[in-house]
Chain A
Amino acid sequence: MSVAELLEGRHVCVCAGSGGVGKTTVAAAVAMGMAARGLKVAVLTIDPAKRLATSLGLEGLDNVERQIPAEVFADHGLEMQGELWAMQLDAKRTWDDMIERRAPDRATRDAILANRIYQQLSTAVAGTTEYMALERLYELHEERRYDLLVLDTPPTRNALDFLDAPDRLSRFIDSRSLQLFLRPGILGVRAFGRGTGLMLAMLKRITGSDLLRDLSEFFGAFGDMAIGIRERARRVNALLADDRTVFLLVTSPRRDAIDEAIFFRRRLRESGMPFGAAVVNRVHEGVHETADGDDVVDDLVALLGPKLGRRVAHNFSDYRRIGERDRANVDRLARELRGDPLVPVPLLDDDVHDLGGLAAVAEHLFAEEAVPA
């Protein structure tokens, strides 16, 4: 079967994996392939290379989805029965929009937007970009304007950070308890344990009292909004676990990427997330199973002459070593998948960074035999 069947009836496809494995490419190729088959699809990317946006006929992307014009596909000889939309996530904008929507009044809104702690939030609190990607995904899901949403997850240091994002945000929001304490003259000291008064004095000395005041103001202004945001984070988590969601785990065949993929697969299983398939991108394929350069050197010399023939044989041995490594790593991942599908995408001779390259990747993903039954 193909990736198309794997995605049938799903509304959300999350492409997850460590950095540098071609997640953006796979996400865009999946979205393109499903759109070509007649669906209205939006792909949410975090950080597409500019060339990718340009090749999709878009001059840069922003926080709002835009449709890829049909003629762009026609120019590449591709048939597009549905619609492909793309969007680049802007974490700060998503935060600001959320504050705009949720603030009870203008004064609160302005106080939050102007607060120095808030202004550094989206850049400085780990996990906020990840959370905001999910927030935007949830928003689009609620609007129900698309048949399928494909999310290219942010390049986290560790693929797992992404799954923790909603919880981490909730914990952060919970620090509003600080506000209770930081307000002068409050009697909450006991709740925090002995020595707190002394500690607060020490903190003030170290961090400067205005930092504590800004924090207090920030959490004060956040007030009741925090409850709404926490509830929202809970629903975002529920959407990820929904059976109309599917996770594609993207990896490369290199050892460290495979290690991380195995770790991530376990984590998805533990948290009950709906797993679709592992996509192993850029596999050295088509290398002969048994023969080595030594076995073919005579034939090659006869064909190409001694000098070139030997070089081709030597190169073949090198490729075969890398091909074998890839196969061993892919097998290791396959064992961990316990029968769940694994889709290899071969290393293409041309670097994938335009629509033609995406189409080539999509061709492999959507081939009838792409997903072993």
Chain B
Amino acid sequence: MPGLIDKRLIFVAGKGGVGRTTVAASLGLAAAARGRRTIVCEVARQERVSRAFKREGVGFHETELATNLFAISIDPQESFEEFLAGQVGSRRLAGLLFHNRLFEYLAAATPGLRELATIGKVWELAQLERRAHLAAPYDLVIVDLPATGHGLAALRTPQTFGEIARVGPVRRRADSIDSFIRDPTQTGVLAVALPEEMPVTETIEFADALRRDMGMSVDLTVLNSMLPERFSAADAEAIERANGGHGAPAVAAALRAALSEHRRARANRAQLRRLRSAVDSEVITLPYLFEPDLGLEEWSRLSNDLERRL
């Protein structure tokens, strides 16, 4: 079985605000540094990856951001048009379809059709023989999934669709996608969590649901934003003793900040232990960075961290 970074397709999953995009981008940088032609796919129209590279508006175009590193923002509508154009054999004919009111209704009414097109585009990017525009193949496709619940729904889409359409080319495509994403030699799942109660619980539940619903397992769990252990218990006691005995407000604020860091870092470690004991996958950590905003520079730092642990 290939290691995570040697697979063709990696889904990065996690609850909102846990740093999914940061991890997806850092992983992309790490893979590109190994010489693998890599593309990071965003599906939430936010284009945070390309923005960090000062390349806004990549849209539905595979855009090279750095050596071996590409990005695309996957739009369901455009994916769907591309898929249909492939099916009817002509962009012009597909365009006619899209301007037909009946077709608009149908696309809106069929559950999961747009979602299927989105995951279908991801699948297409991961194929060695690309269907679209005779494009060059990628060694690795990284997908920044929507927040946990939605993320699982996205992976389940081909299956869901199979329950609706029993025959026809769309069904056949759905089946191909489904077997590709369930194939552990091709596809991997990376779960991102924060070292806090609710995100850790959600991550454990996500791993269970992934196994139950898809028969898939999480390959790697990244516990992001771990506060450094700057103060030992003995340090904290000394700080506690000094705290309150000092009048200057700035000094008091510094002591409080140290105690807060100590307590929160300790709580972080407790969550790390809880996560490790509850999930089967390896759990690695990424540090909390005391930076106002994370951008390319911070991602590079984190990608070095990831690189060492992969």
Contacts and interface: CB of A to CB of B under 8 A. Distances in A.
Interface stretch (B61-69, B119-127, B257-265): B257-265
Instruction: Determine chain B's interface SS by DSSP, over half rule.
Output: helix
A270 interface: no
Contacts of A172: 108-109
B261 A319 contact: yes
Contact of A296 (B15, B87, B103, B251): B251
A303 B242 contact: yes
A19 B293 CA distance: 18
Contacts of B267: 350-351
B102 A199 contact: yes
A57 B260 CA distance: 29
B290 A318 contact: yes
A296 B263 contact: no
A181 B197 contact: no
B101 interface: yes
A119 B84 CA distance: 25
- B105, B169, B231 — which one has the most chain A CB atoms within 10 A of its CB? B105
Interface in A187-209: 192-193, 195-196, 199-200, 202-203, 205-209
A218 to B, nearest CB: 8
Interface residues of A, dominant DSSP: helix
A207 B168 contact: yes
Nearest to B232: A308
A257 B46 CA distance: 12
Interface stretch (A35-43, A98-106, A321-329): A321-329
Nearest to B255: A312
Contacts of A205: 168-169
B111 A121 contact: yes
A299 B45 CA distance: 50
Contacts of B106: 175, 178, 203, 212, 215
Interface residues of A, number: 81
Contacts of A202: 88, 93, 97
Contacts of B202: 49
A91 to B, nearest CB: 11
B16 A18 contact: yes
Nearest to B202: A49
B253 A311 contact: no
B1 to A, nearest CB: 31
Interface stretch (B30-38, B132-140, B158-166): B158-166
A6 interface: no
Interface stretch (A63-71, A141-149, A287-295): A287-295
B109 A199 contact: no
Contacts, number: 219
A292 B89 CA distance: 66
B235 interface: yes
Given A124-B112, A172-B109, A299-B246, A312 B16 contact: no
Interface in B1-46: 15-18, 44-46
A64 to B, nearest CB: 21
B78 to A, nearest CB: 16
A350 to B, nearest CB: 7
Interface string A44-56: 0001011110000
Contact of B17 (A47, A212, A252): A252
A302 B267 CA distance: 29
B277 to A, nearest CB: 16
Contacts of B290: 318-319, 321-322
Interface stretch (B146-154, B180-188, B300-308): B146-154
Contacts of A252: 17
B263 A210 contact: no
A19 B15 CA distance: 7
B164 A116 contact: yes
Contacts of A20: 15-18, 147
A81 interface: no
Given A196-B100, A210-B166, A316 B231 contact: no
Q: Most chain-B CB neighbours within 10 Å: which of A49, A171, A325?
A: A49
A16 B169 CA distance: 41
Contacts of A117: 109-111, 164
B196 interface: yes
B278 interface: no
A255 interface: yes
A231 B100 CA distance: 27
B256 interface: yes
A323 to B, nearest CB: 9
12 contacts: A18-B16, A121-B111, A178-B109, A196-B102, A206-B88, A288-B253, A299-B246, A300-B251, A300-B255, A303-B242, A322-B290, A351-B196
Given A178-B102, A351-B271, 17 more contacts: A19-B16, A47-B149, A117-B109, A124-B153, A158-B45, A172-B108, A192-B101, A192-B102, A203-B103, A203-B106, A207-B169, A214-B164, A215-B110, A255-B292, A291-B250, A312-B257, A325-B292
Interface of A: 18-21, 47, 49-52, 116-117, 119-121, 123-126, 155, 157-158, 171-172, 174-175, 177-178, 181, 192-193, 195-196, 199-200, 202-203, 205-212, 214-215, 219, 252, 254-257, 286-288, 290-291, 293, 295-296, 299-300, 303-304, 308, 311-313, 315-316, 318-322, 324-325, 349-351, 353
CB-based closest 4 A-B pairs: A20-B17, A19-B16, A208-B168, A291-B250
